[in-house]
Amino acid sequence: MQEMISEIKKLLNYPKDIAIISHRNPDGDALGSSLGLQLYLEKKGHVVKSIVPSSYPHTFHYLSKVDDVIISDEDKAIAEQVLMRADIIFCLDFNGLDRIDKIQHAVADSKAVKILIDHHLDPEPFVDYTISDTASSSTCELVFKFIADLGDEKLIDPKIGDCLMTGLITDTGSFKYGTRAETYEVAARLKRLGTDDYYVQDKIFNSMKEKQLRLLGHCLANRMEIMHEYRTGLIWLNKQDYKDFDIQRGDTEGIVNYLLMMPEIEIAAFITEQPTIVKISLRSKGDISVQEIASRHFRGGGHKNASGGGVYARLEDIIDKFKRVIPKYVNKQQHV
């Protein structure tokens, strides 16, 4: 690892054109790691642009430079120009080209040096340098360590810290899962460098609109099903729900986690009918791997306790399939 860091450090010794790209439907870790790295590299004199395939939730409007992020679905030509011009491309929070949609060919065909920083399982070999740690809480944790390993931890100011803290918080459910000792150490170091974790938490969790609260109530009152014998909870939404509540990207963030607030629930699923596909978000407690469920049955993947997928099928069929699959992963118990 140290030899690889030394080689990357040499690449960054002189100003370069750098592109940073993350996955479709970018979350707090995707945006936080991208913008945190961008702000750091700009301090070092590089020209940097961040790209995501699709739009991001308004929740993250507080992140520095988020308004400058190029959304390739809306500006494909500009995104491709940035990638074509780049000397270095950083690929953050994804490990397969299919996760960046229409611009995957531009990345694959680019002559730029490609560097992957990611924490998902089974990275594909499409880059020159791979920094991968599946035990890490988040890509933001890895970006912090990357900057520190380059000898530049002192350059992490509160704006960079806000970005990196965002990924730590969102990918761990506010430090409820997926953490290790190093996660808290990184959070502590960010705090010492001036990051206001209360500010970040407040922006993430206390910015709900009225319609989001009403949607949450609808989900819990009318769309929640409990499979008591398999310690599993399910919430689903159809296209009509999306119309009735004017659901936009980010409005459903975190709903799946409410199911895990019940001590008897060990697996939670949130299934939504999108315009062209049905998406499923999965969460679990303990040793139950929803990553295996997502990858084997719903064309997805992710982490042991947090995964997702998308299938071209009817909503009813995916709900039925989920209910058939669950008994293979959870031993039946008598409901008392």
Please give the pLDDT value at position 1. Answer: 87
**Which mean pLDDT values do the consecutive 10-residue runs of the chain (336 residues) have?**
95 98 96 99 99 94 98 96 98 95 95 98 94 97 99 98 98 91 98 97 93 98 97 98 94 94 97 96 92 94 90 97 94 52
pLDDT of residue 332: 58
Query: Phi, psi at residue 113, to the nearest 5°?
Result: -70, 130
What is the per-residue pLDDT across 227-276, written as a single tens digit (0 to 9) for each? 999 999 999 999 999 999 999 988 999 999 999 999 999 999 999 999 99
Evaluate whether residue 251 is within a structural domain: yes
Does residue 132 sit in the same domain as residue 68? yes
The number of distinct structural domains making up the chain is 2
Residue 162 sits in the same domain as residue 269: no
| Boundary (domain end) residue, out of 156, 187, 205 | 205
CATH value at residue 259: 3.10.310.30
Which one of 174, 205, 236 terminates a domain? Answer: 205
184 plus 54 within the same structural domain = yes
- In this structure, the answer to whether residues 216 and 71 fall within a common structural domain is no
Q: Return the half-sphere exposure (C-beta side, CA atoms, 13 A cut-off) of residue 144.
A: 31
- 290: Cβ contacts below 8 Å, ≥ 6 apart: 267, 282, 283, 284, 302, 304, 305, 306, 307
Query: Last residue of some domain: 205, 222, 250?
Result: 205
Number of Cβ within 10 Å of residue 111's Cβ equals 9
Tens digits of residue pLDDT in 170-216: 999 899 888 999 999 999 999 999 999 999 999 999 988 999 999 99
pLDDT of residue 132: 97
315 CB-contact burial (10 Å; exposed 0-12 / middle 13-18 / buried 19+): middle
* CATH number of 59's domain: 3.90.1640.10
pTM score, whole prediction? 0.90
Tell me, what's the pLDDT at 336? 38
